[in-house]
Every structure is written in structure tokens, then in C-alpha cells.
């Protein structure tokens, strides 16, 4: 520690050893606190019910994708998704079944996108995805693929095999856009598709 050997008296040695022990203890405590901060940051970013991002953290991912498009002219895509049949599950089988449906869908979405993509719960039974460096046509194809997976993969709740569907809307994340504007556009595209699906279903029943 830079102390001349001639000055290393027993008292100095004891003091140095005590100081080194305290420094080591402080280092361990600092690392523990850093780990706790990382844990709290993760909790703050995730939905209270599901293992996906909450709306605030998801909007941050949208902003990151927009910044990437601005700096490198590399657009990504935003998918806005709303579940079909969720209310019926809640009304018929209870809120625990509704929570199970949300967990089921969140797990399917997370399992079928890349690590570079982001999945978030936007509220209620609405989900969002940021498909990084994915063009509009590719995002539409991926969104439909995910919906097909959701609709053909039932989950079991208290002995009942249940399933939900989904409507989706896409919006490109290009330079010059803002996060909330992109969310509103993707939501509008999703709503239009949902209304078209409802109209088709009504015509089939007529």
C-alpha cells in the first residue's frame, strides 16, 4: 500500500488490515446496492401483473427506435394489439381466468419475437410491440403470425380450455415521428381492423 517497510510497525499493520477490511466491506455493500438499484429499475419498468414492459417503459423503447431511425435512417415498426374475447372470458370464468389469459398472451408474444424487439402491456387487454429494424410489410406479416399463434394456442384454466383472438394495427417508426403520435396511429389502424373483423362476422351471421 505504499508504506515503507521500516514504518510497518505492528500498530500500523493492524490499522492497515482494518482499513483494508473496511474498504472490502464497502466494496461489497456498494455492489449489493447497485444490484438492488438494478432490481428496482427493472420492477419500475415492468407491468405489475405481467412479465412485459409497462406503458411508460414501452414508450421509451418506441422513442429509442425513433432515435435509431433518425440517426441511421433505419426504420422499425410499431404493432398495437387488442385481444378479442377477453371480456367474455372475464364475464364467464372470472377475473382470475382473465389474468391467466393475459399471462398466456404475454408469454406467447415474448416467446415469438427477437431479443432486440420489445413487448409491453399498454393497458387492459392491449399490447404493443416494437419490431426493431423491421419494415412495414414485414411487421404486418409478423403481427398476423403472432395473432395466428394466439388464436390457435388455447390455455387451460380450472379444467377449461380457453382461447382468445386479437386485432392488430401497424405503424412505421420513421424519422420525424413522435412516440405518442406513432402509438395513436397504430391504435387507429388496430381499431379499423377490429371494426372490419366485426363487420365480417356480422355479415356471416346475417
Q: Which residues are catalytic?
A: 125
> What is the bridge-based pairing of β-strands 126-131 and 76-84?
antiparallel
Residues 98, 67: Cα–Cα separation, whole Å: 36
**DSSP H or E segment with residue 120:** strand 118-123
Reported in sequence order, the residue ranges of 3-105 that DSSP labels E, i.e. its strands, are 76-84
C-alpha cell recorded at residue 184:
395513436
User: Number of C-alpha atoms within 13 angstroms, CB side, residue 9?
Assistant: 3
Amino acid at each position: 500500500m505504499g508504506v515503507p517497510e521500516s514504518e510497518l510497525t505492528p500498530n500500523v499493520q493492524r490499522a492497515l488490515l482494518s482499513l483494508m477490511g473496511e474498504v472490502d466491506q464497502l466494496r461489497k455493500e456498494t455492489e449489493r446496492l447497485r444490484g438492488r438499484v438494478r432490481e428496482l429499475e427493472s420492477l419500475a419498468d415492468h407491468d405489475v401483473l405481467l412479465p412485459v414492459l409497462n406503458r411508460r417503459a414501452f414508450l421509451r423503447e418506441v422513442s429509442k427506435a425513433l432515435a435509431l431511425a433518425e440517426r441511421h435512417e433505419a426504420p422499425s415498426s410499431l404493432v398495437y394489439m387488442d385481444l378479442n374475447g377477453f371480456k367474455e372470458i372475464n364475464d364467464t370464468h372470472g377475473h382470475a381466468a382473465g389474468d391467466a389469459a393475459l399471462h398466456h398472451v404475454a408469454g406467447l408474444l415474448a416467446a415469438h419475437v427477437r431479443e432486440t424487439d420489445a413487448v409491453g402491456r399498454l393497458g387492459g387487454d392491449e399490447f404493443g410491440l416494437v419490431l426493431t429494424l423491421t419494415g412495414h410489410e414485414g411487421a404486418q406479416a409478423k403481427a398476423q403470425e403472432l395473432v395466428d399463434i394466439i388464436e390457435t394456442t388455447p390455455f387451460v384454466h380450472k379444467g377449461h380450455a380457453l382461447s382468445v383472438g386479437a386485432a392488430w394495427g401497424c405503424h412505421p417508426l420513421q424519422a420525424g415521428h413522435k412516440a405518442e403520435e406513432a402509438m395513436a396511429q397504430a391504435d387507429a389502424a388496430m381499431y379499423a381492423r377490429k371494426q372490419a373483423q366485426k363487420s365480417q362476422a356480422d355479415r356471416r351471421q346475417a
